[in-house]
Structure 1
Amino acid sequence: MRENGRHARGSESSHHPGDSYYNIPPIKRPHWTWEIFVYFWVGGIGAGAHAVTTIARLLGHGDAALLRAGRYITLGSMVLSPLLLISDLGRPERFYNMLRILKLRSPMSLGSWSLFLFGSLSGLIATAQAAQDGLLGGGNPAARLARAVPAQILSALAMPFALFVGSYGGILLAATAVPMWARNALLMGPTFLASSFSTGLSALSLALKLGRWGEKGTHAALRRAERLALVAELGLMAASLAKMGKYGKPLYGKPLAPLFFGGTVLGGILAPLALLSGRESRPRGILASVLVLLGGLAFRYVMVEGGKRSADDPQATFSHTRKEG
């Protein structure tokens, strides 16, 4: 990850004998702007939606409305994600350069390739769905070719890339020297993945409820799955806070604490859980889905911004470096 330009990562800390070096942070804070946490959010929604619909299909749930919604939601997210990444990089050719060589030890290289492959497969799958829905016309060659695409096989092939894209934000953050992220390296990826499942499920549920599509059994199954995903996300988040310990300090103070505890934990997890555990109704389900989606965005924002503040804390960096050493 480049240190010049907008895509700088926290560099390795220098070794100083004291607790600080004139209170100057020994690592550079990431220079990411809003595009990055929105990119993590949008990509996670698409990855979660694809994973849910693929698993549902494998388990024998054949609701065409669920499958259709999942494929179009995934396509939309995979169109937006590279645009957000390119906007952050500043020039389109930088994204192309990231694809020139696959580096298996580089999270950014793996993430770029996973995004490219998952996006390409999602495009083919959505094209097949569009042909099936009659959106490409009748007997023209393009429609016939699209209908011949083996969408189910491609969906299964795309699954590993979807799971990586869903967890990628956490994996990328954990690979830096930023204390708050590095301290929680093992749980960052799984926590982001759990959030991707919860937001993907909520996007599917919201689409079906707003369009009044889907079978009754599908809505009930999504409701159960949403509850499970939120419980898993809450558990991983609690474990992450425990693992971060004092290095999670940016999340406990202003300006991030109200958004993290109010927007993510309370508004994005606990409130939707209460809504989904009570009497089932369309308005309650819509509200729960919207809250989960907004909570997922808030989670990614506070994780990125909290890491920036952690990088600015020389005491945290030296303390973490000594423990790691």
Structure 2
Amino acid sequence: MSGAPRDAVEGAGRRRRRRGRGEQAVVPDAEFASYYGRPILKRPRWRPLDIAGYLALGGLAGASSLLAAGADATARPALARTAKLGAAGAISLSLAALVHDLGRPSRFLNMLRVVKPTSPMNLGSWLLAGYAPLTMAAAAADVAGRYRAVGAAATASAAALGPAVATYTAVLVSDTAVPAWHGGRRDLPFVFAGSGATAAAGLALVAAPAEETGPARRMAVLGAVLELGAFQLMKRRLGLAAEPYEEGRPRAMLRAAEALTAGGAALAVCAGRRGRARAVLAGTALLAGSTAMRLAVFHAGVASAEDPKYTVVPQRERLEARSRDGDGRP
């Protein structure tokens, strides 16, 4: 093996600031290199199954609460019960996955000792702590058939928090330095919102009577359009950092997500009121597609953190852009 360091990227970014014509550079040339090609960022240590499950189940729960409130408002009791139970079950499993990844329940509780508006993890912990009991109260009141006023209030409150629950994990991951996540901070919440909607619609199509699933079918179509459209926009904006989404495991998961989500939405429309078998097939495809999308995002982020070029090259490009702006000033 050669003793010379292997840079992550050939070449170096250079910056020269000039205050006037003929003036020498006052800032030395800057070079970005990765020592022996090793990662610059620390690889995310989250357990893939726990955190990918946490991301997927949170989206399912938040969107299910919205669907439950809509079903209550339009007198669809079976659909409402399915969505309420789905929200309560999904958020319970999501919390279990988060606590398992943290290692001890006390670590989650410790995050509730303070309120820190600048920390997505802290605010997310408070959000879950408030939202989870509401979903359980709504589901319990519905199943018991008692305390209807309490159940209605819990359902409405959970629905009000639902969009935040479905999307806050996108804010959480994009608040890191991981290139494939941070670069998509403007679009990833919309991807997660659409993904949560397709998952909630999928669960309803599988478990609720076909004659009550009209809102779920409409949610499936709107969610699929939002999820896939926002993801394509995010990839265009990511530039080089979009590469991990088109390589290896993330690419396979993304292609599966696109096919399952688009196909599930199309089947949901065709199923109508009479196609029970089609509705179950559509719902299964939508649930699988939503999960595959979250897994693709997770694994692409890990891959982008492991390859130093996704950190070095954008830094160099930003430096060169600032250098050109500085040289162009009068």
Q: Give 1:81 shift.
A: 1.5
- Quick check: 2:179–2:241 contact (8 Å CA) kept in 1? yes
- RMSD between superposed Cα atoms in Å: 1.9
The 8 Å contact of residues 49 and 74 in structure 1, kept in 2 or not, is answered as yes
Match of residue 24, structure 1, among 38, 48, 51: 38
One-letter amino acid of the structure 2 residue matched with residue 158 of structure 1: A
Q: Does 1:40 align with 2:40?
A: no
State the match for 2:140 in structure 1.
127
Q: State the shift of 1:322 in Å.
A: 4.3
Q: Kindly, what percent of the aligned residue pairs are identical?
A: 29
TM superposition shift of 1:279: 5.5
1:52 alignment partner, one of 62, 67, 74: 67
Partner Cα separation in structure 2 for residue 148 and residue 220 of structure 1: 24
TM, length-normalised to structure 1: 0.83
Corresponding residue number in structure 2 for 1:99: 112
Question: Does the CA contact (< 8 Å) of 2:102 and 2:108 recur in 1?
Answer: yes
Q: 1:244 offset after TM fit, Å?
A: 1.6
Distance between the aligned counterparts of 2:181 and 2:261, measured in 1?
Answer: 22
The question of whether the paired residues in 2 share the 8 Å contact of 1:206 and 1:286 is answered with yes
Say if 1:197 and 1:315 are closer, same or farther in 2 by CA, change over 3 A.
same
Contact 2:217 2:268 in 1 (8 A): yes
Correspondent of 1:66 among 76, 79, 82: 79
**1:320 equivalenced with 2:308 (yes/no):** no
1:255-296 CA-to-partner distances (Å, cap 9, x unmatched) read 3212211x1111x22221332343642111111110111111
1:287 pairs with 2:301: no
Q: TM-score, normalised by structure 2?
A: 0.82
Distance 1:110 1:245 in 2: 30
Alpha-carbon contact 2:67-2:216 (below 8 Å) kept: no
Equivalent position SS for 1:239: helix
CA contact (8 A) 2:188 2:231 kept: no
User: For 1:323 and 1:203, how far apart are their aligned partners in 2?
Assistant: 45
- CA distance, structure 2, for counterparts of residue 23 and residue 54 of structure 1: 52
Structure of larger gyration radius: 2
Q: Do the aligned partners of 2:59 and 2:165 also contact (CA within 8 Å) in 1? A: yes
Question: SS in structure 2 opposite 1:185?
Answer: coil
The answer to whether the 8 Å contact 2:201/2:286 transfers is no
Alpha-carbon distance in 1 for matches of 2:233, 2:219: 21
Asked if 2 retains the 8 angstrom alpha-carbon contact of 1:191 and 1:233, the reply is yes
Q: Return the letter of the residue paired with 2:181.
A: W
Instruction: Return the alpha-carbon distance in structure 1 between the equivalents of residues 316 and 176 of structure 2.
Output: 16
Identify unmatched segments of 5+ residues in structure 1.
Answer: 1-15, 133-145
In the TM superposition, residue 74 of structure 1 has moved relative to its aligned partner by 1.1
Name the SS for the 1:226 alignment partner.
helix
Structure 2 stretches lacking a partner, 5+ long? 1-29, 320-330
Deviations 1:79-102 (Å, cap 9, x if unpaired)? 211111110001111011111112
Aligned-partner residue type, residue 102 of structure 2: L
Q: Where does residue 322 of structure 2 map in the other structure?
A: none
Deviation at 1:63, TM superposition (A): 1.0
> Is 1:251 the counterpart of 2:245 in the alignment?
yes
Aligned counterpart for 2:100 among listed residues 87, 91, 95: 87
Alpha-carbon separation, structure 2, partners of 1:323 and 1:165: 35
CA distance in 2, matches of 1:306, 1:236: 16
> Is 1:75 aligned to 2:88, yes or no?
yes
